[in-house]
Structure 1
Amino acid sequence: MIPSIFLPEGMGDLVFLILAATSFVASFITVAFGIGGGGVMLAVMATLVPPAALIPTHGVIQIGSNLGRAALTFGHIFWPALPAFTLGSVLGAVSGGMVVVNLPPAWVQIGIGGFVIWSVLGRPPRGVRDWPILVGAVSTFLTMFFGATGLFVATFTKAQNLPRHSHVATHAALMTVQHGLKTVVFGLLGFAFVHWLPFIAVMILAGLAGTMAGKLLLNRIDDRRFRLALDVVLVVLSIRLIHAGVSDLMAG
């Protein structure tokens, strides 16, 4: 029996346990393969968490997950990638918070999925590598509506041609900035995070455990295998995004 303090209104023990396990697995995937955990977490939460709470709570959980990952790999962070990306993220968060109508999620899914596949299979556009302000602004604007834009940010991180540890560390730092700004904006817009804090704390702890387990695998693979695994994960998740978007459009 899960203590009631950890269960938001309407959530049962089984759902809580499924979400905690998902947080562990999602963080394991992200630190071991560089990307993918945020999307996995969002996909599961989307079926189990009320829509109004989905994006805000997912954002806070991802802060904890990414912050823990950045702390464990702190010495590998590529700091020059952060300042301009952070400035762009501020612009994206502010503009996203000012938009009162939701972007059509199906088109967002298709667009991000197609962009990422293009970046993996071809040469990443120069804008991804050289215009971090634009990447930060666009990805943070989209995360206000879509939630998990780690795929988008990963194309910028990947374009830096970093070793595997630096890739994981830098991506974690960038996502911490992005989700942190998003959480601030949702708080200013009136979302009551306090009702979800015990639940969020457990999800973050489960994610930290997954991060520590995933780091063991990260230390056992070489850069070539890491980049291959990263590309495969990116393409698979992008195909899933495109399929979901097309399915939504056809259903509508």
Structure 2
Amino acid sequence: MNAFLAIAGAGLDGTTVLILTLTSFVASFITIAMGIGGGGLLLAVMASLLPPAALIPVHGVIQLGSNVTRAALLLPHVHWPPLAGFTLGSLVGVAAGGLVVVELPGAVVQIGVGLFVIWSVLRSPPKWLSTLPWLTGAISSFLTMFFGATGLFVANFTKSLTLPRQSHVATHASLMTVQHGLKVAAFALLGFSFGPWLGFIVLLTLAGFAGTLAGRVVLVRLSDKGFKRALDVILILISLRLIWTGITGD
């Protein structure tokens, strides 16, 4: 078993791959059941175990697979109108991020995104979140090139649309599929080699798919009111963690 995990893990030891595989399952379960949170959880665990240079691109491919399967499972519930504008903005954001030579300070991004999300949860979401999907796509896609897990930002846009719980999850997954797909393409063009990580990516994507199937059972049993309350709590907790990490550097 350990030999298989080591082979699939791009040189990582078997225990590390097993931990990340289980984390991928839990992350996808949380995301489809609660609407958000899994991407940030997976990124946090991966950040402590993977080489820094591989973290954002490899995380992006795994998240792409997770969001594709989630969107496919809930395809009839996708709210399509904002997708075109979001895609256009995401193209601009990813292109701009790929051209930036000096990396944005991670602490500044973490604190800024955390404060913005908390403000959006506690107050009415700003109108541009629901009326300007291209701007949400541009800003979040620019940040994802440096920060990785910008699902929080996009979740607030989706939340502002006041969709039923299954439509919220399906629409958010579709938007994140676009964003992660463009990000992965950009990293490939920038020269990152995904080949050595292929087995690891497939393993974690399959674990994420299993988590998605399990979490869907929870999603269909939640009420809309319960879902939105759980989503707000998760958004605030993750945002507080982002702010704390940005301040302390932990």
TM-score normalised by the chain length of structure 1? 0.97
Q: Deviations over 1:110-164 (max 9, x none)?
A: 0000000010000100111111111000000000000000000000000000000
Equivalence for 2:209: 208
Instruction: Using the TM superposition, give the Cα deviation of residue 236 of structure 1 relative to its aligned residue in structure 2, in angstroms.
Output: 0.3
Instruction: Using the TM superposition, give the Cα deviation of residue 7 of structure 1 relative to its aligned residue in structure 2, in angstroms.
Output: 2.1
Equivalence for 2:124: 123
Structure 2: tracts of 5 or more residues without a match: none
Q: Deviations over 1:173-207 (max 9, x none)?
A: 00000000000000000000011011000000000
Matches within 5 A, 1:1-252: 1-3=2-4, 4-9=6-11, 11-248=12-249
Instruction: Using the TM superposition, give the Cα deviation of residue 5 of structure 1 relative to its aligned residue in structure 2, in angstroms.
Output: 3.1
Instruction: Using the TM superposition, give the Cα deviation of residue 25 of structure 1 relative to its aligned residue in structure 2, in angstroms.
Output: 0.1
CA distance in 1, matches of 2:155, 2:207: 23
What code does the residue aligned with 2:186 have?
A: V
CA distance in 2, matches of 1:125, 1:222: 25
What code does the residue aligned with 1:247 have?
A: T
Q: Deviations over 1:4-48 (max 9, x none)?
A: 431212x10000000000000000000000000000000000000
CA distance in 2, matches of 1:149, 1:27: 15
CA distance in 2, matches of 1:2, 1:162: 46
CA distance in 2, matches of 1:19, 1:176: 21
Instruction: Using the TM superposition, give the Cα deviation of residue 223 of structure 1 relative to its aligned residue in structure 2, in angstroms.
Output: 0.2
% identical equivalent positions: 60
What code does the residue aligned with 1:129 have?
A: S
What code does the residue aligned with 1:144 have?
A: M
What code does the residue aligned with 1:56 have?
A: P
Task: Look up the SS of the partner of 1:91 in the other structure.
Answer: helix
What code does the residue aligned with 1:16 have?
A: V
Task: Look up the SS of the partner of 1:229 in the other structure.
Answer: helix
What code does the residue aligned with 1:217 have?
A: V
Task: Look up the SS of the partner of 2:192 in the other structure.
Answer: coil
CA distance in 1, matches of 2:235, 2:71: 20
What code does the residue aligned with 1:190 have?
A: G
Instruction: Using the TM superposition, give the Cα deviation of residue 101 of structure 1 relative to its aligned residue in structure 2, in angstroms.
Output: 1.0
What code does the residue aligned with 2:30 have?
A: I
CA distance in 2, matches of 1:216, 1:131: 33
Structure 1: tracts of 5 or more residues without a match: none
Q: Deviations over 1:203-240 (max 9, x none)?
A: 00000000000000001110000000000000000000
CA distance in 2, matches of 1:2, 1:59: 26
Count of residues paired in the alignment: 248
What code does the residue aligned with 1:6 have?
A: A
CA distance in 1, matches of 2:3, 2:66: 22
CA distance in 1, matches of 2:61, 2:39: 11
What code does the residue aligned with 1:82 have?
A: L
CA distance in 2, matches of 1:221, 1:153: 22
CA distance in 1, matches of 2:198, 2:244: 33
